[in-house]
Amino acid sequence: MIAAGSLAACTLTALCAGGPNLPAESSLSLSLRGTDGVTRSVHLTCEPDTGTHPRAHQACAALEAADGDFDRLPELQRQCTMIYSPVRAHARGHWKGESVRFTTEYSNPCFADARSGGVFGF
């Protein structure tokens, strides 16, 4: 009887203290729109790295390295053609609980992938 009461007290204390600290949300909707009007979209969730992004782990690692700052994403060493076929990249959602809204244009999909550390590589 005492053990059950102690367990209940410990459980209640944990709940009253706010329970376990959960990681802040890191969930993003990413899209690329080409000049042909076609938009490709994926969803990326980090910690755990999931979603519809084909390389979620790589994209989350790039965002982690940049602390969620899209202007500081590491570049991938990749050779891209110099064909001009611009794509408009959009990101919106949350990175570790902070609101994210990002828009930029890349000269083609290969540069979008390379310049974003794989975040826009889909």
Domain 26-116 = CATH 3.30.350.10: yes
Rounded distance between C-alpha atoms, residue 26 and residue 83, angstroms: 34
What's the whole-model pTM score?
A: 0.79
Residues 37-82 have pLDDT tens digits of 999 999 999 999 999 999 999 999 999 999 999 999 999 999 999 9
Q: What three-state secondary structure class fits 22?
A: coil
Task: Residue count of the chain, please give it.
Answer: 122
Distance from C-alpha of 55 to C-alpha of 69, rounded to nearest angstrom: 19
Domains of the chain by residue range: 26-116
Report the distance separating Cα 6 and Cα 12, nearest Å: 10
